[in-house]
């Protein structure tokens, strides 16, 4: 099936029964429209951070132990007191109906069926109420947590109706994205602006504002990204009327605002990349943090998230004997996870939990709900196999003693 990615007849053969995430991606690329694929896959500027998110994992080597009883490997864990079938969840991604299938509904059905944590993007093409209904309607005995991602605008009060809806619907946490005062310089988006086609809309935002989208054009945030002059930027901000992402979030005002708006929900900050901000998150009563560089789509010259993780864990590490508890507040890892071994490495370097982003979209493009299930099952099997071969039977046993890093000269391994 050709979609304009390559000339007809020139596409390489890809198997229709994928057994790796890279094979899922290869199929998805032939089925997702080129402008949509480019939107999801691109990073910022030269895409250095995007590529290093994956490449940095390769510098890490697993140091396997032998003569261990791994006859009963268990990939389950607990998070916020709730049992999780696997130590990874599905990261928030916008406008999932563009990727394929029934979008967010397919992702939610797969997550509910397999007991996997899900974070819904506030910029979804399905309402948050419809998404969480998939969990309520599921026949599975598993009961995964669903979380709600949030961007605050310049006027945070405008987000209160959305927050209240999420709380009332049963979402257990607000995941505030904090690394987006402005959009990163995403060249693909600037050259080919992505707009929702007729029939699709930002369900949560439009329901909250009661103003259905009538014009098919980029959002003010994306128009601001493409401003060519200071005058252009000022004109766009003036026209936006406070609807762009907030660039004035602070520790002393934003966290109390969220706690007051949603007293029954956990508060998670997504986009923490330094030990200093991790310590501030603890100080200001945040419930968890997500170590993330936004999939390489924001600040291109930052480091890979797996490189940031050890330093953050070092300042949050706890001596608690509580099973599975590694940090004073839970540290969630996000960025570049493409195999079960990557999940293992992130857990070993101090993460309590891991999020998976683009591969979920590949699953949607491949085969909708079934494709998302394929992605989850591939990662689960790869993680289980990695644990067995590394000599680990339970998630809480995974620690940095199992990880080495290639020496600077390129030969030899040193423990971290």
Active site residues: 294
- The Cα–Cα gap between 259 and 263 comes to 5
To the question of whether residue 337 is assigned a binding role by annotation, the answer is yes
Instruction: Determine if residue 123 is labeled as part of a ligand binding site.
Output: no
Q: Is 391 annotated as a binding residue?
A: no
- The Cα 152–Cα 216 span in angstroms is 23
Was 31 annotated as part of a binding site? no
Is 245 one of the annotated binding-site residues?
no
For residue 340, say whether it is annotated as part of any ligand binding site.
no
Cα separation values, 181 from 184, 218, 291, Å: 9, 18, 17
Contact 100, 28 (CB under 8 A): yes
Rounded to the nearest 5°, which phi and psi values hold at 306?
-70, -25
**What would the two tokens of residue 167 be?**
């709380």
Residue 96 marked in a binding site: no
Is 61 annotated among the ligand-binding residues? no
Residue 336 assigned to a binding site: yes
240 CB-contact burial (10 Å; exposed 0-12 / middle 13-18 / buried 19+): middle
Chain centre to alpha carbon of residue 191: 25
Q: Say whether 366 counts as a known binding-site residue.
A: no
Measured CA to CA in angstroms, residue 240 lies from 186, 231, 233, 402 at distances of: 20, 14, 11, 50
Q: Is 177 annotated as a binding residue?
A: yes
Binding site annotation covers 292? Answer: yes
Gap between the Cα atoms of 312 and 279, Å rounded: 8
User: Is 121 annotated for ligand binding?
Assistant: yes
Annotated binding site for glyoxylate: 39, 151, 186, 294, 297
Annotated binding site for FMN: 92-94, 121, 149, 177, 270, 292, 334-338, 357-358
Annotated binding site: 39, 92-94, 121, 149, 151, 177, 186, 270, 292, 294, 297, 334-338, 357-358
């Amino acid at each position: 099936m050709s979609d304009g990615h390559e000339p007809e007849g020139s596409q390489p053969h890809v198997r229709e029964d994928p057994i790796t995430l890279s094979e899922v991606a290869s199929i998805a690329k032939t089925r997702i429209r080129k402008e949509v694929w480019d939107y999801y896959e691109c990073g910022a500027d030269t895409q250095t951070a995007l590529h290093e998110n994956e490449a940095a994992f390769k510098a890490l080597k697993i140091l396997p132990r032998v003569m261990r009883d791994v006859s009963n490997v268990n990939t389950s864990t607990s998070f916020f007191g709730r049992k999780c079938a696997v130590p990874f969840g599905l990261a928030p991604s916008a406008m999932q109906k563009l990727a394929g299938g029934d979008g967010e509904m397919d992702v939610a059905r797969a997550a509910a069926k397999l007991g996997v944590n899900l974070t819904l993007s506030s910029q979804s093409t399905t309402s948050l109420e419809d998404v969480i209904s998939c969990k309520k309607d599921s026949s599975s005995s598993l009961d995964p947590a669903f979380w709600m991602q949030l961007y605050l605008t310049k006027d945070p009060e405008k987000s209160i109706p959305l927050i209240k809806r999420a709380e009332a619907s049963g979402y257990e946490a607000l995941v505030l994205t904090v690394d987006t005062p402005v959009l990163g310089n995403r060249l693909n988006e600037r050259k080919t602006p992505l707009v929702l086609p007729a029939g699709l809309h930002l369900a949560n935002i439009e329901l909250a504002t009661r103003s259905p989208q009538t014009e098919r054009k980029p959002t003010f945030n994306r128009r601001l990204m493409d401003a060519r002059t200071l005058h252009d930027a000022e004109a766009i901000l003036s026209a936006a009327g406070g609807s762009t992402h907030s660039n004035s979030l602070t520790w002393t005002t934003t966290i109390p605002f969220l706690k007051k708006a949603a007293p029954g929900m956990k508060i998670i900050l997504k986009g923490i990349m330094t030990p200093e901000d991790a310590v501030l998150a603890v100080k200001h009563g945040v419930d968890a943090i997500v170590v993330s560089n936004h999939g390489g789509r924001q600040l291109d010259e930052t480091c890979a998230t797996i490189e940031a993780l050890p330093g953050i864990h070092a300042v949050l590490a706890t001596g608690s004997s509580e099973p599975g508890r590694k940090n004073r507040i839970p540290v969630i890892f996000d960025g570049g996870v493409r195999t079960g071994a990557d999940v293992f490495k992130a857990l070993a370097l101090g993460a309590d939990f891991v999020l998976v982003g683009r591969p979920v979209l590949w699953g949607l493009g491949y085969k909708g709900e079934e494709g998302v299930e394929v992605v989850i099952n591939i990662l689960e099997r790869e993680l289980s196999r990695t644990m067995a071969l590394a000599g680990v039977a339970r998630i809480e046993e995974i620690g940095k003693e199992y990880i080495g890093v290639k020496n600077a000269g390129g030969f030899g391994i040193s423990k971290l």
